[in-house]
Amino acid sequence: MKIQMVDVKSQYQKIKMEVDQGIQEVIDSAAFINGPAVKKFKESLEQYLNAEVVIPCANGTDALQIAMMALDLKPGDEVIVPAFTYVATAEVIALLGLTPVMVDVDPDSFNITPEIVLAALTPKTKCVVPVNLYGQNAELEGIMNLADQHEFYVIEDNAQAIGSDYIFKDGTRMKSGTIAHIGSTSFYPSKNLGAYGDGGALYTNDLALGEKMRRVANHGQGKKYVHDIIGCNSRLDSIQAAILDVKLKHLDDYCSARQEVADRYDLAFINVDQLQIPKRMSYSTHVFHQYTLRVKDGRRDELKSYLSEKGIPSMIYYPIPLYKQEAFRSYTEVDFLPVTEQLCKEVISLPIHTEMSVEEVRYVSETITAFFN
Ligand SMILES: *Cc1c(COP(=O)(O)O)cnc(C)c1O
């Protein structure tokens, strides 16, 4: 059995006709940059997310950068960011001369919480960037309440959770990424809504902020050849937009397929004392960009090698706290956050994707339970 972390190839086979047709139409029209395909996808995504404005861009890292540029943050302004995330989230903060304030995460949700944010607030806090890690929302209702009280912006790094729902205390639901002032996402091929190359997007319900971000992403240009602000050049390729427009129609099915795999894994591991299965938080649905276990008996690396011998790939997201990365040495005084340190030693992400068969899930599950018996 050849098990893969993700299987973009088999997924493509099932939608090949639609995708190929979309690509061919872009080539036939030669509208490679900002063509009708980009507009169509932008509108489809606005409708899917129920967001006022979607701004497509070149990748998820650019999306974060454009968001921060549009907020007019000044050097020295503090941006609160989890230390347990992909490097891109903190990198753009440093790149813009802002001060990343790295904070710990909750051991159950793997995300920052209102309490963690509150403890890190200073008069210089201008922005908070919760990451909806592994496919589940951070507790955004509480974080947005703090934002109202203390006047800071919130950018949701939603690269891993597109398609999930945020569930407010009163039961209303909103699509992940649309709760904060700005949401950013990535269409990197292995993400839940993956292109066949790079891509990203920003979303907001604030029209003025939307217009500002659109300008930033397009050389700070309002009218053609009139540049009001310093911007950058970050566009979603028309061919990628055509592909994404097809795949967006399948996103909910893709999320369900991942959830089914996760449910099977849960059942297999719930009684294994050495493992903690992913907790499902009351305020979010989970779309399982990753299915991430905590190995509590210190044998995580041993398990990883064992799986590899049995032909099962696995990944460690993330092995090193961001404050221990050489690149951030001069940007942060933080040198120890207990939960982040613990998670870096305990987490392991298993194969999960839309094409995974019941037999494959069973093989992975049985191999893991055998390891602990
Ligand atoms: C993938 C990812 C990004 C960056 O997206 P790119 O499209 O690769 O630039 C940012 N943040 C998180 C949490 C991610 O998982």
- Angstrom distance (rounded) from CA 173 to CA 144: 15
For 289-302, how does the pLDDT look when each residue is reduced to its tens digit (9 = 90+)?
999 999 999 999 99
Boundary of a domain, candidates 248, 276, 293? 248
pLDDT class for 161, splitting at 50, 70, 90? very high
CATH number at residue 188: 3.40.640.10
The token duo for 273 is 């004392």
pLDDT class for 204, splitting at 50, 70, 90? very high
Boundary of a domain, candidates 248, 282, 306? 248
Taking CA atoms only, the protein residue closest to ligand 1 atom 6 is 60
Answer yes or no: do 314 and 227 share one domain.
Answer: no
Cβ-based burial of 182 (10 A; exposed 0-12, middle 13-18, buried ≥19): buried
- Number of structural domains (the chain) is 2
pTM for the whole structure: 0.97
| Ligand 1 proximity of 3 Cβ (cutoff 6 Å) | no
CA of 193 to the centre of ligand 1 (A): 12
- Angstrom distance (rounded) from CA 123 to CA 351: 43
Taking CA atoms only, the protein residue closest to ligand 1 atom 2 is 159
Taking CA atoms only, the protein residue closest to ligand 1 atom 5 is 60
Q: Are 139 and 109 in contact (CB under 8 A)?
A: yes
Percent of the chain scoring above 70 in pLDDT: 100
CA of 64 to the centre of ligand 1 (A): 9
**173, part of any domain:** yes
For 246-269, how does the pLDDT look when each residue is reduced to its tens digit (9 = 90+)?
999 999 999 999 999 999 999 999
Residues 17-39, mean pLDDT to the nearest whole number: 97
HSE, CB side, 13 Å, CA atoms: give it for residue 198.
Answer: 10
Answer yes or no: do 227 and 93 share one domain.
Answer: yes
Which atom of ligand 1 is closest in space to residue 191's alpha carbon?
1
**153, part of any domain:** yes
**2, part of any domain:** no
What does residue 353 show for φ and ψ, rounded to 5 degrees?
A: -165, 175
Which atom of ligand 1 is closest in space to residue 132's alpha carbon?
13
Given a cut of 80, whether residue 167 has pLDDT beyond it is yes
Which residue of 81, 134, 136, 186 sits with most ligand 1 atoms within 8 Å of its CB, as the best mutation to test the pocket? Answer: 186
| Ligand 1 proximity of 131 Cβ (cutoff 6 Å) | yes
DSSP 191: S
Q: What is the largest CA-CA distance in the chain?
A: 68
Q: Which amino acid is at 24?
A: Q
Q: Which residues 6+ apart lie within 8 Å of 208 measured at CB?
A: none
pLDDT class for 281, splitting at 50, 70, 90? very high
Answer yes or no: do 181 and 102 share one domain.
Answer: yes
Coil vs helix vs strand at 174: strand
Residues 68-89, mean pLDDT to the nearest whole number: 96
Closest CA to 92 of 324, 331, 343, 341: 331
Given a cut of 90, whether residue 138 has pLDDT beyond it is yes
Answer yes or no: do 242 and 261 share one domain.
Answer: no
Given a cut of 90, whether residue 2 has pLDDT beyond it is no
| Ligand 1 proximity of 188 Cβ (cutoff 6 Å) | yes
Coil vs helix vs strand at 244: helix
Given a cut of 90, whether residue 215 has pLDDT beyond it is yes
Q: Are 162 and 192 in contact (CB under 8 A)?
A: yes
The pLDDT of residue 257 is 98
314: containing domain: 251-372
Given a cut of 90, whether residue 1 has pLDDT beyond it is no
pLDDT class for 139, splitting at 50, 70, 90? very high
The pLDDT of residue 165 is 98
Percent of the chain scoring above 90 in pLDDT: 98
Residues 38-48, mean pLDDT to the nearest whole number: 98
Answer yes or no: do 268 and 197 share one domain.
Answer: no
Residues 221-242, mean pLDDT to the nearest whole number: 95
| Ligand 1 proximity of 192 Cβ (cutoff 6 Å) | no
The pLDDT of residue 56 is 98
Boundary of a domain, candidates 226, 248, 270? 248
Coil vs helix vs strand at 307: helix
- Long-range Cβ contact pairs of 37-40 (< 8 A, separation 24 or more): 37/238, 37/239, 37/241, 37/242, 37/245, 38/235, 38/236, 38/238, 38/241, 40/241, 40/245
